[in-house]
Amino acid sequence: MLLTTRNKEVAQHIDRRGFLREPQCLSKEESWELLKKKAFLGKDDLDYRINIDMEKLGRKMVARCAGLPLAITVLGGLLATKNTLNEWNLVQENFSSYLRRGKGHEQEQSTVSEVLALSYHELPYRLKPCFLHLGHFPVDFDIPTKKMFKMWMAKGMVSPMLEGEETMEHVAECYLGELLDRCMVQVGERGSTGRVKSCRLHDLCLLKANQENFLNVVHIQNGNEPMVSFSSTESIVESSRRILRLAIYLDTETDFSWDHERTPCLRSLLFFSTLKTSTICGKLISKINNFKLLKTLDLEQCCIEGKSAKAIGNLIHLRYLSLNCGLITYIPSSFGNLRCLQTLIL
């Protein structure tokens, strides 16, 4: 069994006699070579010469990444979008500011987190909600890009180009390309033509998405009380009243009940389950009418039948609906009420 963790105590707690391998941080030169590879992507021909002042700034910034590959990769992705010395100077000034904010925390995670914070801050406005939306998905989850594009469009995150005849899907694909170039998102799988079929977030990138108060996660696991993840410091009751986007991760069966009075304005609900069957799915569907403002509903991993799905037809604002669980044998007539629906997956 191979276990990977950033916390040495976790590995020792599992097996104190097990073989523990601690990868070494990159050296100064290795760090600089990695930064060059990311920051000057596509400029590695023999005729290209790196500006001396840019190299000085780059070496200064990469030295503060403490030899951590993820921090260097994300920083390189950010610098790849900056073409002038003035822009590099501005990044360097902001970089120092963000690192000072994280001073006093555990060095490795703090350094990476602050680099991610800077990269997020530098994202174009149109890309920020697209990045934050990925926080709905669990750690190490391969996100199908076609599904992700449809969700972005349903939420109004994709704006059509003013010129040209590009489809909304093409624009969404360009958005993903920009996030990949900035190393904010990782490629999961590519198709035979080179197109990205799936992508994923590094867990620290996922943490950043959650820190922005964009969504809430309920994780039901190990037969314990449900763990509710709120990014703000407010109480659960206060935060719950303002929930707009919710993801439920189900790892075990439990008598979990959600107070629907706290979610009257819910706009997005995604359900992820590792169980083949669950009574929670039935309970969720029986109360679905409480979420009258829902625009996105993904119950792909929630086993429900056509008769149970009938109530979904009352959610007249739905734009995206996924019920691809294999148990839907017919489309309920109530679905005719879904006049705003853009995507239906069965």
For the segment 74-124, what is each residue's pLDDT rounded down to a tens digit? Answer: 899 889 888 899 999 998 888 777 666 545 445 555 677 778 888 888 889
User: Which pLDDT band holds residue 59 (cuts at 50, 70, 90)?
Assistant: very high
Q: For residue range 189-235, what is the model confidence (pLDDT) as tens digits?
A: 999 998 999 998 877 667 776 677 788 888 777 655 444 443 333 33
Of residues 254 and 35, the one with the higher pLDDT is: 35
Q: pLDDT at position 12, please?
A: 72
> What percentage of the chain carries pLDDT values higher than 70?
75
Q: Which comes out higher in pLDDT, residue 206 or 339? A: 339
The pLDDT mean for the chain works out to: 79
**Residue 250 in tokens:** 């189900």
Spatial separation of the C-alpha atoms in residues 58 and 56, rounded to whole Å: 5
Dihedral angle computed from the Cα positions of residues 307, 313, 314 and 315, in that order, rounded to the nearest 10 degrees:
120
Cα four-point dihedral sign 141, 142, 146, 148:
positive
SS3 for 157? coil
For 257: left if phi > 0, alpha if psi spans -120 to 50, otherwise beta; the answer is beta
* Mean pLDDT for the stretch of residues 11-22: 76
Exposure string of 23-33, with b = 16+ CB inside 10 Å and e = fewer, is eeebeeeebbe
Q: Are the C-beta atoms of 269 and 296 separated by less than 8 Å?
A: yes
Which tokens hold the place of 151? Answer: 């969700």
Q: Which CATH architecture has domain 215-345?
A: Alpha-Beta Horseshoe (3.80)
| Residue 256: pLDDT band with limits 50, 70, 90 | low
pLDDT in tens, 262-278: 677 889 988 887 766 65
* Average pLDDT value for residue range 243-253: 81
Beta strand 196-200 with 143-144 is antiparallel
CATH 1.10.10 assigned to domain 128-160+167-205? The reply is: yes
Residues 298-327 have a mean pLDDT of 80
The confidence band for 338, taking pLDDT boundaries of 50, 70 and 90, is: very high
Q: Tell me the C-alpha distance between 79 and 266, whole Å.
A: 37
The long-range contacts involving 37-46, CB below 8 angstroms and separated by at least 24 positions, are 37/76, 38/72, 38/73, 38/75, 38/76, 38/77, 38/79, 38/80, 38/183, 39/75, 39/76, 39/79, 39/80, 40/80, 41/80, 41/181
Quick: pLDDT tens for 76-86.
988 988 889 99
Beta bridge partners of 247: 217, 270
Boundaries of every domain in the chain: 24-121, 128-160+167-205, 215-345
Number of continuous H segments (helices) and E segments (strands) in the chain? 13, 10
The long-range contacts involving 228-235, CB below 8 angstroms and separated by at least 24 positions, are: none
- Contacts with 16 (C-beta within 8 Å, 6 or more apart), sequence order: none
Answer for the pair 228, 198: CB distance below 8 angstroms, yes or no.
Answer: no
